[in-house]
């Protein structure tokens, strides 16, 4: 497979990948299932178990059985394609999903041929980047998202119009061009990409068409990072640790504080502290509205959280 874009600083490596380059809209439910598998991924292993209670504990999202079965049904009917100089291959990502009645658990078996693509996704993307790539449906939005990530630290990048069209596959080797009229290019490519990237991804995307004389010659792309608006299962961290962090956040600690605590103190020790906290509240030695400050103070004394000057 040929690497077409590489930016190690932002950890965005966009490959000619059957999954990320496919024009396929992954729903939030399908993304949660995919990320749960990526978080457990092991070399040589094709069978995994997904517990829906884990998804709920990490993200706060609850999926009903009909939502899950519909999501997996659609995944099983989706075919992916890969072509190189020697062959053209069609395949599906999964062999089956088995729902265990009364257990809120799903057994999953990955297709052997798809394993390299799962590892490629886990190696080349952060969770937010992969969510963004899989959530935008326009192939031009996917490509412009990748370009935007490359230049997010700079903030903007100017392309010659013809150069950008070639990068988007709108001009073939013989010079045949799609959306030759600037209005068609703007409507069918730039505006759709802008809408999808801004609604579905972790960056803000905008553009400006610039003229030379009477004709448009350049496209300037503007990019800014934005805060995540949706909790995402982080496949770079263990599921148990993510559940622990979510528990800490549920008690009122910030995400940063929760990650610091989870990295240095075991969950059972936190549970003991919560039992002591609840007892203080029951005995009216501490008001419930002061409980977060109490927890922060305990961890500051332990040297786990920094003390503000």
Nearest to 239 by CA among 64, 111, 78, 105: 105
Burial 123-153 (b: 16+ CB within 10 A, else e): ebbbbbbbbbbbbbebebbbbbbbbbbbbbe
pLDDT of residue 208: 94
Are residues 64 and 31 part of one domain? yes
Find the DSSP H helices in the chain.
28-40, 52-59, 65-76, 115-124, 127-135, 139-150, 161-167, 182-185, 191-200, 239-250, 255-264, 267-282, 291-301
By three-state DSSP, how is residue 235 classified?
A: coil
Residue 166 falls within a domain, yes or no?
yes
Are residues 182 and 218 part of one domain? yes
pLDDT of residue 230: 55
Are residues 297 and 212 part of one domain? no
Are residues 258 and 216 part of one domain? no
Domain boundary among 69, 98, 124: 124
Are residues 46 and 91 part of one domain? yes
- SS3 helix, strand, coil % of the chain, rounded to 5? 45, 20, 35
Are residues 175 and 87 part of one domain? no
Are residues 78 and 156 part of one domain? no
| Rounded Cα distance, 304 and 230, in Å | 27
pLDDT of residue 4: 33
Domain span at residue 293 reads 239-302
By three-state DSSP, how is residue 46 classified?
A: coil
pLDDT of residue 23: 52
Domain boundary among 191, 225, 259: 225
Residue 249 falls within a domain, yes or no?
yes
Measuring CA to CA, how many Å separate 272 from each of 11, 161, 267, 278? 39, 62, 9, 10
pLDDT of residue 173: 77
Are residues 103 and 24 part of one domain? yes
Residue 309 falls within a domain, yes or no?
no
CB proximity list for 35: less than 8 A, separation 6 or greater:
127, 130, 131, 232, 233, 234, 235
Domain boundary among 103, 124, 145: 124
Q: Do the Cβ atoms of 149 and 201 come closer than 8 Å?
A: no
Residue 29 falls within a domain, yes or no?
yes
Q: pLDDT per position in the chain (309 positions), as tens?
A: 333 333 333 444 334 456 666 556 688 899 899 999 999 999 999 999 999 999 999 988 899 999 999 999 999 988 888 777 788 888 889 999 999 998 999 999 999 999 988 998 888 888 888 888 888 878 888 888 888 887 777 788 899 999 999 888 888 878 888 898 999 999 999 999 999 999 888 888 999 999 998 899 999 999 987 765 557 888 989 999 999 999 999 899 998 999 999 999 999 999 999 999 999 888 888 888 889 999 999 999 999 999 876
| Rounded Cα distance, 226 and 235, in Å | 20
DSSP 105-118: EEEEEE-GGGHHHH
Residue 308 falls within a domain, yes or no?
no
pLDDT of residue 188: 94
| Rounded Cα distance, 16 and 164, in Å | 18
First to last CA, the chain: 53
pLDDT of residue 32: 93
Are residues 86 and 161 part of one domain? no
Are residues 140 and 194 part of one domain? yes
Residue 110 falls within a domain, yes or no?
yes
In the DSSP assignment, the letter for residue 17 is: -
Q: How many domains does the chain have?
A: 3
Residue 233 falls within a domain, yes or no?
no
The whole-model pTM stands at: 0.74
Angle (CA) 52 54 58, round 5°:
125
Nearest to 112 by CA among 130, 98, 93, 132: 93
CB proximity list for 45: less than 8 A, separation 6 or greater:
none
Residue 288 falls within a domain, yes or no?
yes
pLDDT of residue 199: 86
In the DSSP assignment, the letter for residue 234 is: -
| Rounded Cα distance, 38 and 55, in Å | 13
Are residues 22 and 119 part of one domain? yes
pLDDT of residue 303: 94
């Amino acid at each position: 497979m040929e690497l077409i874009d590489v930016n190690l600083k932002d950890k965005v490596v966009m490959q000619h990948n059957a999954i990320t380059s496919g024009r396929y809209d992954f729903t939030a439910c399908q993304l949660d299932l995919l990320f749960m598998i990526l978080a457990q991924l092991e070399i040589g292993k094709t069978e995994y178990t997904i517990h829906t209670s884990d998804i709920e504990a990490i993200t706060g999202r609850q999926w009903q059985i009909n939502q899950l079965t519909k999501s997996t049904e659609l995944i099983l009917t989706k075919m992916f394609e890969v072509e190189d100089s020697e062959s053209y291959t069609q395949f599906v990502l999964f062999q089956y999903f088995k729902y265990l009645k009364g257990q809120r658990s799903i057994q999953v078996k990955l297709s052997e041929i798809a394993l390299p693509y799962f590892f490629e996704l886990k190696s080349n993307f952060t969770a937010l980047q992969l969510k963004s790539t899989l959530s935008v449906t326009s192939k031009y939005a996917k490509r412009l998202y990748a370009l935007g990530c490359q230049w997010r630290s700079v903030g903007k990048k100017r392309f010659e119009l013809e150069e950008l069209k070639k990068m988007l596959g709108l001009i073939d080797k013989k010079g045949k061009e799609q959306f030759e009229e600037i209005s068609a290019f703007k409507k069918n490519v730039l505006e759709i990409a802008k809408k999808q990237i801004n609604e579905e991804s972790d960056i803000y995307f905008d553009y400006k068409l610039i003229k030379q004389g009477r004709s448009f010659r350049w496209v300037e792309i503007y990019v800014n990072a934005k805060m995540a608006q949706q909790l995402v299962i982080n496949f770079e961290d263990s599921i148990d640790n993510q559940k622990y962090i979510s528990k800490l956040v549920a008690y009122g600690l910030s995400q940063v504080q929760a990650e610091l605590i989870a990295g240095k103190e075991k969950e059972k020790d936190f549970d003991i502290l919560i039992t002591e906290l609840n007892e203080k509240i029951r005995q009216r030695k501490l008001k419930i509205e002061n409980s977060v400050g109490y927890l922060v103070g305990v961890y500051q004394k332990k040297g786990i959280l920094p003390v503000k000057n």
